[in-house]
Amino acid sequence: MGFTDSARGSSTAGQTVAEVTEGAVLSRIFPRLPASDAALVGPGDDSAVMAAPDARFVVTTDMMVHGPDFRRAWSTPWHLGWKAAATNLSDVAAMGARPTGLVVALAVPDSTPVDELEEFADGLKAACEALAPGCGVVGGDLSVSGTFTIAVTAFGDLEGRAPVLRTGARTGDVVAVSGQLGRASHGLALLFSEGVDEAGVPDASRANSVREQHPDLVSAQLTPTPPIADGPRGARAGATAMMDISDGLALDASRMARASGVTLALESLLLGDDVDAALHGGEDHGLLACFPPGAELPGGFTRIGMVSEAGGADVTCDGAPVAARGWDPYTAWDGAAG
């Protein structure tokens, strides 16, 4: 179902989604959404039509569900809009593509104020404008559910380049990352330890206090800023393999290593002060890439190791095997109700 604005002009201020029509909700959301430069037909019909000058396009999808993926007590609707965009934009960039459009579906409790959906749209727009200028929302759907659920599908343009896959790492390649490692997991740990009440239930006022005291760490978790432009830069610079670091460096690197049939040999001195958080923290949404020996690393990429022949481990750090452990939505929120 495409977004439409058939009820534009309806007065819905202060009302919940249960008190208005879908058209009235959309009439308030639609003007706030970012437009896509690649949209030939945008929101308003049954489907959007996107330009594909490359004759191919990259497509990915991701869900965020209250409980396993976020907590409303910790995240404002604006935060959720930003993160929903950022996490999908990162997957497009990891293929070496430039993000061009998003399709966004929301299912929310009927008690949700329409104002919150406007705020969510503002977060989407802010993320697209900051991280991937020219990318916008080209359609979507709204529904009602007992659980706040966000589903985003993202599209990207390869601009004539071959996609950069996980399978291309070769012995002797340089292993590099773009983005900060471990900060998002530190932010989540702070929210779990200080953003809850005496019963361990997430608490909005305490989360706000944590955000004020540790803005950079909490923002890394709630509003990540993946290096989207470094995806195409990496592809142009000859990256042999690339992927988004969403589940933690160790876990994602093991996936690349297995796909390529090699070992990724990392060096602790290149991973920062907290090596364990860098390896296993998750939710970083940076980029992991391999480049040919001697290649000049583009953008924000920095070297963290090299590719060696497949041995007894997919990933090593200073020669020792590294467990493929990281972010898991099925277990990450255990012990925190509400």
Query: pLDDT of 123-163, one tens digit each?
Result: 999 999 999 999 999 999 999 999 999 999 999 999 999 99
End-to-end CA distance of the chain: 32
CB atoms within 10 A of CB 137: 27
Is 82 one of the annotated binding-site residues? no
Tell me which DSSP letter residue 158 carries. Answer: -
Is 69 one of the annotated binding-site residues? yes
Is 37 one of the annotated binding-site residues? no
Domain edges within the chain = 17-157, 165-338
Is 252 one of the annotated binding-site residues? no
Tell me which DSSP letter residue 316 carries. Answer: E
Is 129 one of the annotated binding-site residues? no
Longest CA–CA span in the chain (Å) reads 65
Is 61 one of the annotated binding-site residues? yes
In contact, 336 and 200? CB cutoff 8 Å: yes
Global pTM reads: 0.92
**pLDDT, average across residues 97-112:** 97
Is 54 one of the annotated binding-site residues? no
Structure tokens at 142: 């709204």
CA 32 to chain centre: 21
Is 283 one of the annotated binding-site residues? yes
User: Percent of the chain at pLDDT above 70?
Assistant: 93
Question: Could you tell me the pLDDT band of residue 331, with boundaries at 50, 70 and 90?
Answer: low
pLDDT of 193-247, one tens digit each? 999 999 999 999 999 999 999 999 999 999 999 999 999 999 999 999 999 999 9
Is 244 one of the annotated binding-site residues? yes
Is 247 one of the annotated binding-site residues? yes
The CATH number of the domain covering residues in 165-338: 3.90.650.10
Is 91 one of the annotated binding-site residues? yes
User: Percent of the chain at pLDDT above 90?
Assistant: 83
Least confident of 36-40, 43-47, 56-60, 72-76: 43-47
User: Which one of 3.30.1330.10, 3.40.50.10800, 3.90.650.10, 3.90.25.10 gives the CATH number of domain 17-157?
Assistant: 3.30.1330.10
Whole-number Å distance between alpha carbons of 188 and 218: 7
Is 338 one of the annotated binding-site residues? no
